[in-house]
Structure 1
């Protein structure tokens, strides 16, 4: 069997099973007497062991087997769950994850696991884990379930095939196979058995039928009749190598067996056995389900796995279609042909629906990022000697895969910061009238075209005075400016480059690097981060992210003869401002916008656009926002709203100020996309 084609599926399913182990181990830590949880962990470990053995990753299979033995002893109440035992099992899962990661990166999945194996063996033997060195495994004696033997009835043409097979030097065997009772993917195991036998001979019948086997409509046992030149021992040994096969019994079918069958079945004439005459003479019915099972191992499944690279290609092609759609819309307006207008409108609607489908295909639940955090919080809480509970809400919220890939590290940094700086020590919390266990809430939800991720803790909150003191000390703000800042602006100073209130560099949170890295990453994704805090009660970090990065809605504007695109996600509104309404404050042009002083930025100056000497009386202004900060972008005119494809400027132009990319418009012109976050300081 060619296994390389199944490698990607193996890696994905292994990650899922290991994630289940992590999640259920955390639950087991809270409910150590709940054997249902132990069974869940055992099933995931057992499935991983079987898949690893099938794929030939013996080190992975062996370590999983050692861990499985400990879990089996726990569920059979031979071992009691303790924090020390869970630490060892968690370490085993860590090693297994590292081995799977090695395989995913093209490695062999090998890893030195001597220490953890010694600890697992010590647990299994009831020894002191801390004193464990290397040992030998004591396998638990288990009673093998008996194999149910079927006596299959053969039709006339099947008897003919069996007889002719003997005449041509083949032999025929009835093979009874019993799977383990806890086997999860029975159809997959059947497929593997058929695959093995297909290389050694020809399958002519099965009981239950192939369709029933595919749909897992059987208990644990099934029977296969196979024609082969191999002997019974070779066939049995080959089948036993398939994971989760419990027992195998091979019985050779002879002419006497068929004759005995016919004597009990008046419907089949004896002459058919002797002469080989009849309906199916010379034909072999190939009941091999290998092809069928591989297409759909679970008939009720409605999903398929698609490589993300294929979706990237599909998205790129659609982006080109969006550009051409804009071009057609432009031509349609210029020609003003009713039939062309109608066709273009229809194409616009259809391509819009197609766009939604493609974007939805790329959406991934944030759960894929969130699911690593419970285990991380557990370990960090132990390292810090704190009691902390992580509460995850809205893990099913979906984000574009490109955003998902980037948001993980910033969240890790924020969670570490909350655990290290936010949540107090248990004795301090009790002294302040709180429960000794702190809570960190991680919440995700949709709002409009954005996804919000909030991280809230019930810790000590942010000390404003200390933040201001450090910010002034490091030259981030002046003393004069410090007095004008709002509470939120003070809190957001912790996001400034080089800022830290820690007296010593900690390996837990900052590791010597400030939260400015978090801010930079989020803003590079077109998002923003805000901070709220209440002294003594905790802090709230709120991250706003776009649903997708490749196709965005913009306001097209014109500056002289150049076109620019401003993302709608940053725009509050547009306005026409008279010249006399513009004021000066600290050498900066400002306007009064709904009672707030908003600075004006003339984009022709920002982007050094050649301008004429004409003096304007009215100015077109786009009011944009970044958090609580606002600015007015002065342009020559508004063109209108449009969906555009965001294209990178490439490696040579990756540091152009306040430009995040470019797009091709319907008339073939290139418009630069303005990065409003870079303009607002």
Structure 2
């Protein structure tokens, strides 16, 4: 069977099982007496072992096998669960993740896991070896010399079982060829010929293909079922010339099946996964009616069916639909120009249908932020230990969905913010106790929808941000002047910590203090069309709030005109539009401003910023678009408003990466190109 066709499914499934192991281990740390959690971890490890063995990744299978032994001893009360065991199992999971990542990157999944296996063996030996001394495998483990050379799947074990019932025994025959053997493949063939006469070959390690191509050193193992005694097998194989040594071991099915108890779901083929498993990341969910009826996608229903879809296919589908949106705009323009009633009706119907299609395609690309949030409990646990702090991480709204493109980019900024909350925010247990707080600090990671945006908040109940300390550091670093510091609001002061190179850490540690991180967070979030704001209460804690667009591909804009050129301003940045008399424009600090509802708002003339050639006389009014970024506002002066429209955001390409205040372009219905204004850059 060609396993390559199942490789992608294997990788996704393995990541899911490892993530489940991480989550359940953290739960087990909180509830060490709960054996049902151990059973869940055991099942995940067991399934992963079966998949790995089926796919031929023996290092993965062997490590999960050893991990299973420890978990099995815990759930059978032969071992008492403790933090030391938890740490070693976490190390094993780390190695398993590294091997799966290696496979995902095209590697062979091999890794030196000797140290972790040694620790697992020590745990097992110290507590449970005496109880399983009768098991051949356990006895071999005690000697650190496993006699079982191969990993067997359920099919092979079943064949062995049925053979035993018919009076056959199972043997592992390990053959060592002389170092000066020239035709190794020929000797292998002769060994196989003898073994096939005295029994049936079940498995070869390395595989038959590798043996034929001489892809092994001097030793190989063949598993057979036979009615011969092992002494006779040994004699017959030793007759082959250039064979130096032959070891024949009878295999005990009880020993092999020891780690199979209570886990009949061992996978011998990855095929059933395609039908049975729910998708890990991006999937086409045929549950639109269920969603409209108010049911959730996670509800178990016999009629629910899911299939995996490669994200690249969805990207192609999205690109094709973007072209359709452009053509839809063109048809709407033609319909208005011709003023034909039948054409009007057809275009309106097409607009409605394509709008529904747009929602479906966008929903297909939506992924729960859970895929990002899942990595944080383990990270917080480790960081808390490194910092000698007690931290409780609460995750709220993990089912909130975001576009896959945004999901891929938002992970690193969140890592920085959580590390910042743990290092700078939450105090040590001694300090918290002295301040009348509980020794355990709380960090809340929350996600929720609001309008066309997703908000992600990181809240801690720590020390908060010291305004005076931040101002002193900012003045010392030359970020602001002492005069400007007096007039700054608390929020403006807090946002200074997002400046490049800014850090209030008194010493550099592995976690923070180098002034790198929060400025990257800010730039990454703004590159996604989002914003970040900070609120803090000294001694009570801080909240970092990130606002992100649901999707980056199709956006709603206000189309404006400057002379003969058209510019699109994203509606997400606009507060309102206004017509302002020239006589109402004031001057302050060499900047033209207007009084907008009691606030002084600076005016930015786009024709000057973008150097648009002026051909016509200006009238006595300005058309102004009031935009906002956080607490800051600005008025963008244009010649006229065209109207609101949905447009496809296209990048400017590699040659135009540093164009100021332009985030992309779009093709309008009349075929013209309109540039999309980056309001964040203008206000900055």
Give the TM-score, by structure 2 length: 0.77
Q: What are the within-5 Å matches in structure 2 for residues 5-404 of structure 1?
A: 5-126=5-126, 136=144, 234=200, 296-297=275-276, 302-404=305-407
Is 1:497 the counterpart of 2:503? The answer is no
Q: Could you tell me how far apart the structure 2 residues matched to 1:503 and 1:667 are? A: 59
Consecutive aligned runs of 4 or more in structure 1 exceeding 6 Å deviation: 137-140, 174-178, 235-238, 289-292
Secondary structure (helix, strand or coil) at the match of 2:626 reads strand
What does the per-residue CA deviation read over 1:411-432, in whole Å, with 9 as the maximum and x for residues that have no partner?
A: 0000001101000000000000
**Partners of 2:563 and 2:616 within 8 A in 1:** no
Q: Could you tell me how far apart the structure 2 residues matched to 1:555 and 1:134 are? A: 74
Q: Could you tell me how far apart the structure 1 residues matched to 2:119 and 2:367 are? A: 38
**Partners of 1:18 and 1:44 within 8 A in 2:** yes
Q: Give, in angstroms, the shift of residue 615 of structure 1.
A: 4.0
2:262 is matched with none
Q: Could you tell me how far apart the structure 2 residues matched to 1:18 and 1:137 are? A: 28
Q: 1:435 aligns with which of 433, 438, 446?
A: 438
Any gaps of 5 or more consecutive residues in structure 1? 141-146, 148-173, 179-229, 242-247, 251-288
Q: Give, in angstroms, the shift of residue 514 of structure 1.
A: 3.9
Secondary structure (helix, strand or coil) at the match of 2:604 reads strand
Q: Could you tell me how far apart the structure 1 residues matched to 2:197 and 2:32 are? A: 50
Q: How many residues align?
A: 551
1:3 is matched with 3
**Partners of 2:504 and 2:513 within 8 A in 1:** no
Q: 1:584 aligns with which of 584, 587, 590?
A: 587
**Partners of 2:559 and 2:567 within 8 A in 1:** yes
Q: Could you tell me how far apart the structure 2 residues matched to 1:392 and 1:134 are? A: 43
Q: What are the within-5 Å matches in structure 2 for residues 453-492 of structure 1?
A: 453-492=456-495
**Partners of 1:175 and 1:249 within 8 A in 2:** no
Q: Give, in angstroms, the shift of residue 443 of structure 1.
A: 0.1
Q: Could you tell me how far apart the structure 1 residues matched to 2:570 and 2:143 are? A: 63
Q: Could you tell me how far apart the structure 1 residues matched to 2:147 and 2:89 are? A: 18
Cα 1:127–1:74 shift into 2, 3 Å: closer
**Partners of 1:329 and 1:344 within 8 A in 2:** yes
**Partners of 1:114 and 1:134 within 8 A in 2:** no
Cα 1:54–1:480 shift into 2, 3 Å: same
Is 1:672 the counterpart of 2:675? The answer is yes
Q: Could you tell me how far apart the structure 1 residues matched to 2:546 and 2:321 are? A: 29
Q: Could you tell me how far apart the structure 2 residues matched to 1:516 and 1:60 are? A: 40
Secondary structure (helix, strand or coil) at the match of 1:414 reads helix
Q: Give, in angstroms, the shift of residue 500 of structure 1.
A: 1.0
Is 1:414 the counterpart of 2:417? The answer is yes
2:564 is matched with 561
Q: Could you tell me how far apart the structure 2 residues matched to 1:22 and 1:293 are? A: 25
Cα 1:293–1:380 shift into 2, 3 Å: closer
Q: Give, in angstroms, the shift of residue 236 of structure 1.
A: 6.5
Q: Give, in angstroms, the shift of residue 509 of structure 1.
A: 3.3
Secondary structure (helix, strand or coil) at the match of 1:454 reads strand
Q: Give, in angstroms, the shift of residue 83 of structure 1.
A: 1.1
Q: 1:517 aligns with which of 517, 520, 523?
A: 520
**Partners of 1:118 and 1:135 within 8 A in 2:** no
Q: Could you tell me how far apart the structure 1 residues matched to 2:441 and 2:366 are? A: 33
Q: Give, in angstroms, the shift of residue 505 of structure 1.
A: 2.4
Secondary structure (helix, strand or coil) at the match of 1:544 reads strand
1:636 is matched with 639
Q: Give, in angstroms, the shift of residue 574 of structure 1.
A: 0.5
Is 1:449 the counterpart of 2:457? The answer is no
1:270 is matched with none
Q: Could you tell me how far apart the structure 2 residues matched to 1:59 and 1:10 are? A: 15
What does the per-residue CA deviation read over 1:429-449, in whole Å, with 9 as the maximum and x for residues that have no partner?
A: 000000000000000000000
Cα 1:543–1:510 shift into 2, 3 Å: farther
1:423 is matched with 426
Q: Could you tell me how far apart the structure 1 residues matched to 2:508 and 2:308 are? A: 44
**Partners of 1:499 and 1:514 within 8 A in 2:** no
**Partners of 2:201 and 2:225 within 8 A in 1:** no
Q: Could you tell me how far apart the structure 2 residues matched to 1:104 and 1:75 are? A: 32
**Partners of 2:22 and 2:90 within 8 A in 1:** yes
Q: Could you tell me how far apart the structure 1 residues matched to 2:328 and 2:672 are? A: 14
Q: Give, in angstroms, the shift of residue 138 of structure 1.
A: 8.1
Q: Could you tell me how far apart the structure 1 residues matched to 2:163 and 2:615 are? A: 91
Q: Could you tell me how far apart the structure 2 residues matched to 1:125 and 1:139 are? A: 17
Q: Give, in angstroms, the shift of residue 487 of structure 1.
A: 0.6
Cα 1:139–1:382 shift into 2, 3 Å: farther
Q: Could you tell me how far apart the structure 1 residues matched to 2:400 and 2:601 are? A: 35
**Partners of 2:369 and 2:398 within 8 A in 1:** yes
Q: Could you tell me how far apart the structure 1 residues matched to 2:444 and 2:19 are? A: 20
Q: Could you tell me how far apart the structure 2 residues matched to 1:416 and 1:611 are? A: 51
**Partners of 1:392 and 1:441 within 8 A in 2:** yes
Moved more, 524-533 or 598-607: 598-607
**Partners of 2:432 and 2:438 within 8 A in 1:** yes
Q: Could you tell me how far apart the structure 2 residues matched to 1:232 and 1:522 are? A: 69
Q: Give, in angstroms, the shift of residue 295 of structure 1.
A: 6.7
What does the per-residue CA deviation read over 1:331-382, in whole Å, with 9 as the maximum and x for residues that have no partner?
A: 0100011111111111101100000000000000000000000000000000
Q: Could you tell me how far apart the structure 2 residues matched to 1:320 and 1:84 are? A: 58
Secondary structure (helix, strand or coil) at the match of 1:539 reads strand
**Partners of 2:563 and 2:613 within 8 A in 1:** yes
Cα 1:135–1:22 shift into 2, 3 Å: farther
**Partners of 2:51 and 2:270 within 8 A in 1:** no
Cα 1:497–1:291 shift into 2, 3 Å: closer
Cα 1:94–1:338 shift into 2, 3 Å: same
Coordinate RMSD, CA, aligned: 2.9
Q: Give, in angstroms, the shift of residue 653 of structure 1.
A: 0.5
What does the per-residue CA deviation read over 1:111-155, in whole Å, with 9 as the maximum and x for residues that have no partner?
A: 111111111110011179xxxx99727899xxxxxx9xxxxxxxx
Cα 1:606–1:413 shift into 2, 3 Å: same
